[in-house]
Amino acid sequence: MPMQRMRELVDLLNKYAYAYYVLDDPIVADDEYDRLYDELVALETEFGMRYPDSPTLRVGGETLKAFAPYRHRERLYSLDKAKNIKEFEAFLERIRKALGYTPRLTLEQKFDGLTLSLTYKDGALVKGATRGDGEVGEDVTEQIKTIRTIPRRIDYTGIIEVQGEGIMRISEFDKYNKTAAVPLKNPRNGVAGAIRNLNPKVTAERNLDFFAYNVGYHDGKRFSSQEEIHEFLRQNGFLVSDVFYVVDDVAEAEKHLEEIEESRPTLDFLIDGAVFKVNDLGLREELGFTEKFPRWALAYKFQAMETTTILKDVVWQVSRTSKLNPLAILEPVDLMGVTVKRATLNNYSDIQRKDIKIGSRVLIRRSNDVIPEIMGVYQHGENSKEILPPIVCPACGSPVRKDNVFYYCTNDACAPKVISAIDHFASKACMDIEGLSEKTAEQLYNDLHIDSVDKLYTITAGQLKALEGFKDKKADNLISSINKSRKTTLSRFVFALGIPTIGKKAAKQLADRFRSIEALREATAEQIIEIPEFGGIMAENVVNFFKDEKNARLVDNLLSHIEIEAEEEPVTEGIFSGYTVVFTGVLTNYKRSEAQKLVTERGGKTADNINSSVNLVVAGEEAGSKLAKAQKLNIKIISEAEFIQMLNGN
């Protein structure tokens, strides 16, 4: 039976590797592949044998016959891996036994893209190749020339091979998928498909980047350490990671590993771990290689941010704007230490583009602590079935209407819509009615027939005390909180109205621009669109909201109960007067919201994205595509330290 299982694993893993490396169309998530691979390694170790076609004998994948083969001057090895500190300590112990002591190690991010090798001759870029099987790759020179972060010339005499990772930034991936007829599954799949496409124009369309991290074969100049290699790459114009540590012990390594893993959700590119290397290149020669791995390097793998599972069903939920949002019901699966049972699906058009079906194995990705999103399909099953668009509202049975790619319930009194609107209206960022949760909103809707937010101001303590679970104190507290909300600011009031596409920041911008609800109600789209970062759709949504008769009556009714107090006058003079500032990357001394507030308090404006009004960018650590765009547009860029100097009046 063990031998039969080994044969099954070899065949299965080779099938998965062919789809991943050759077809650029993976059919299983990385964590599932790694689990099966580890099982095969354990069996081969236990029984002391390997099948000749075992994937444990391979470094990478097959080369495509469509590309000319390229033989690397030095073999590109894959890395042994660790999944926890105990396995990292075992790696250190092996080195200690071989050398008699533990040397210094470098620690860098492990990029999740496509390994590439670039050959320069007398400073000129002459060849680009994929890793392939580690010895022979594919000649993709014309494709890699489209990558703007690959220097065409460097300061080097002789021949040198620079190794690194081709990546597709997450922002570029998201932008590409918005218009792609066949959306990409993930950025890694996006870069592999782009590089291994015979048409360089297709490569160029995906706006790839390249992070350099190693020097392979080289003649002439000699390097003594990984630190020296890193600095050489930086000085020669390569994009290198700012995350580069030299560590002396396990405690220091563990500290930096935690920092790198915590930064993952903030990055504009995928990393799936970190890489340790012996810093001293002379010691590397002494340690040497196994059949497959260098003995002086290790990949420390983080928990997967994506995995696959079966889509069991799709249900439609009604939002406060009447929009029906599809929610995926999944076969439970562990992802980043959390059991995931549900995932988002953007809209029905997205479902069709991604060819998502009930009963299929789908790829889900989880970023930060938000509900995962279905990125695509890995495999359809024999019983996979089409997902049908809603015909009637699942909550109230009313007909639905289709507007662009979305479906809406036509019943203004639909329970989930009203309850969600009340919950939003009462939230802390809006009217701040403490004690009015979504559960309480549902109870008020069902028992007191509160089907509109203005009716909250007609509730009496006696009515509340008659409800189940409402004792005197709870009822009095809620009435007190409702009464407290009768005085509010214009920005809170506008946000509380729930105007489509108008969030907290946009509501504040509207309040600062128009200063009164009367002026805002009379504003034209042309006036609104003058606000930085406001587009045509946002402006039209505001105008159409106040033009609607039902909304107009709602606002009138609310104003009969609510007094809108004057907003604090925006600061017009200060060190940031005349500046519209964008923050990018990770700030060390401030949360981004705090830094933005400091700018506005000193006369400036802030924006979330680079646009024509932006004239200053503050770049923190790991700054990504916004920094690159600012550089391209010649926008003034300062560091966090320089930002602090400005705050101090310098």
Report how far residue 349's alpha carbon sits from residue 179's, in angstroms, rounded to the nearest whole number. 11
Supply the pLDDT for residue 376.
Answer: 84
Residues in the chain with pLDDT values less than 70 = 1-2, 17-31, 46-47, 57-65, 337, 367-370, 567-572, 650
Q: Which two tokens stand for residue 378?
A: 């890995």
Report how far residue 587's alpha carbon sits from residue 27's, in angstroms, rounded to the nearest whole number. 38
Strands 306-318 and 324-335, by their bridges, are antiparallel
Report how far residue 105's alpha carbon sits from residue 88's, in angstroms, rounded to the nearest whole number. 12
Backbone region of residue 488 per phi and psi (left: phi > 0; alpha: psi in -120 to 50; beta: other values) = beta
What is the set of domains in the chain, with CATH numbers? 2-57 (1.10.287.610), 69-301 (3.30.470.30), 306-409 (2.40.50.140), 415-565 (1.10.150.20), 580-647 (3.40.50.10190)
Do residues 82 and 301 lie in contact, with contact meaning Cβ atoms separated by under 8 Å? yes
Tell me the three state secondary structure of residue 429: coil
Do residues 203 and 143 lie in contact, with contact meaning Cβ atoms separated by under 8 Å? yes
Give CA 33 to chain center in angstroms.
Answer: 22
Backbone region of residue 122 per phi and psi (left: phi > 0; alpha: psi in -120 to 50; beta: other values) = left
Supply the pLDDT for residue 397.
Answer: 93
Supply the pLDDT for residue 629.
Answer: 80
Supply the pLDDT for residue 57.
Answer: 59
Report how far residue 576's alpha carbon sits from residue 600's, in angstroms, rounded to the nearest whole number. 8
Please confirm, yes or no, whether 110 is among the known catalytic residues: yes
Supply the pLDDT for residue 543.
Answer: 95
pTM of the predicted model, to two decimals? Answer: 0.57
Supply the pLDDT for residue 584.
Answer: 86
Do residues 235 and 215 lie in contact, with contact meaning Cβ atoms separated by under 8 Å? no
Do residues 378 and 26 lie in contact, with contact meaning Cβ atoms separated by under 8 Å? yes
Q: Of 142, 170, 377, 391, nearest to 267 (Cα)? A: 170
Which of 81, 83, 86, 110 is catalytic? The answer is 110
β-pair partners for 118: 128, 162
Do residues 304 and 204 lie in contact, with contact meaning Cβ atoms separated by under 8 Å? no
Using only the alpha carbons of the chain, give its radius of gyration. Answer: 29
Q: What is the strand order of the sheet 616-619 is part of?
A: 605-607, 580-584, 616-619, 636-639
Q: Of 371, 372, 355, nearest to 307 (Cα)? A: 372
